[in-house]
Amino acid sequence: MTLSQQLISLIRAKEVSASDRHRAAILTLDAIANAMAGRNTEPGRKLLAWGRQHGHDAGRQAFVIGGLTHILETDDLHRTSITHPGCVVVAAVIAAANTAAVTGPDILKAVLQGYEAICRIGNAVGPAHYRIWHNTATCGPYGSAMALASLKNLNDAQAMHALGNAGTQSSGVWEFLDTGAMSKHLHAGRAAESGMIAADLAALDFTGPPKILEGDKGFFAAACPDAIPSAVTADPQAPWKLMQTSIKPWPSCRHTHPAIDAALQLHSELNGAEIECVNVKTYQAALDVCDRPLPESEYEAKFSLYHTVAVALRKGRVDFQSFDAKSRKELAELRQKISIAAAEPWVSAYPESWGARVTVTTKKGSEHAADRDGARGDPEHALSDNEMLEKARMLLEFGGCNQADSNHITEGIMSLPDGGSDIAAFLRDQFT
């Protein structure tokens, strides 16, 4: 059996419990709330305008919803694969759930299976891949294809072809970070759409390469110099990867979150004391992506350890206003006092654990330090259901939802485990 075939068998053999469905509904709500909030942004308005110009078939809807979900940097993240599964998988599933035969449990099963595929393949790409390639973009098409293979009841052979043709569309590099370009949103949307196209074609028995992962000219050979193929099928009895996916409480790159959490603690301890210098120690990947001492745009600020730590230390909160031009100007002096470095034990603990230490020395010479061995919203430091619902309502309000629509979306998605899928049609209408 090829790796794709083994992955399909593993995923389809996994049982789905009531708690799995409940958590899948929570993460579906988080993704949709992020997409709704993404409408109220400059790139979001551009994506919606593009959608209106080019029609509203399911593939284009998946593209638009996926892109919108990934704009505000508050969508979910699976740590070991370094992927954002929800912006790809949920976008594709909601866009495709357009028949009366699709039930709420069908939607949630597809979401679970899609997360499993993107995360398992993400676990296998190796560290070198992430230095150039954006894992959500490159592994995402496998996730959306696997989700839609479930939703469309494709047989195993068709599912294999769907993964093959999803993988041959895999793309997306980090070059956009240097200018703060909007390409990251394109990555999520295209990954959602690519998997949908691949699954739709597979339903017509349009064939794809069976060895798309491990073949001599396959994905690993092309883009993953230190791939770990065994990770695709490792530990088949483990909980669903969705159950191990983290939620982001702050609208910035997840690599900044451990340091933000530590800095927020220090904000309370400092009680307004003047800061002489700040030292941040963390893992290397956080520096690779977020070593940006002079952010010149809102997006660069979200990917700056210097800026996010400065916000947390000075303001005691991190929100949507923390990255605008006014905030960047106000915090310029404090950013200059911050140094960052990769250090143990955080280097060796990554990617299983994403941690940091923030140390502040005041002008009076006192030293204050806070450590984090993980980030708030990780499975070990999980947000409660009430906190998740509160986050969703905040995002929905930011996206312009009135109270009635916000309640309808929240209640409709949280009722998916119990049967109906009527909410999917309502949601699709919000992105046209």
Cβ–Cβ < 8 Å for 83, 135:
yes
Cβ–Cβ < 8 Å for 76, 27:
yes
Instruction: Return the pLDDT at 144.
Output: 98
Q: Name residues of the chain where pLDDT drops below 70.
A: 100
Q: Which residues pair with 400 in a beta bridge?
A: none
User: What is the model's pTM?
Assistant: 0.90
Q: Which residues pair with 77 in a beta bridge?
A: 246
| Alpha-carbon dihedral 389, 102, 419, 68, rounded to 10 degrees | 10
By CB neighbour count within 10 A (0-12 exposed, 13-18 middle, 19+ buried), where does 75 fall? buried
| Same topology between domain 3-249+384-429 and domain 254-376 | no
Cβ–Cβ < 8 Å for 307, 275:
no
The tokens describing 83, both together, are 């992927």
Instruction: Return the pLDDT at 100.
Output: 63
Strand 338-342 to strand 275-282: parallel, antiparallel, or no bridges (unpaired)?
parallel
Instruction: Return the pLDDT at 422.
Output: 86
Q: Which residues of 339-378 are buried (b: 16+ CB within 10 A; e: fewer)?
A: ebebeeebbeebeebbbbbbbbbeeeeeebebbbbbbbbb
Kindly state the percentage of the chain with pLDDT values over 90. Answer: 93
> 236: cis peptide before it, omega within 30°?
no
- Residue 408's CB is within 10 A of a number of other CB atoms, namely 15
CA dihedral (170, 251, 394, 113) positive or negative: positive
Residue 171, amino acid = S
Cα(373)–Cα(359) distance, integer angstroms: 15
Instruction: Return the pLDDT at 420.
Output: 78
* pLDDT tens readout for residues 143-173: 999 999 999 999 999 999 999 999 999 999 9
* CATH architecture assignment, domain 254-376: 2-Layer Sandwich (3.30)
What residue segments make up the domains of the chain, in order of their start? 3-249+384-429, 254-376
Which CATH code for domain 3-249+384-429?
1.10.4100.10
Q: Tokens 């370009």 identify what position?
A: 181
Residue 209 CA from chain centroid, whole number: 27
Instruction: Return the pLDDT at 55.
Output: 79
| Alpha-carbon dihedral 329, 184, 263, 131, rounded to 10 degrees | -110
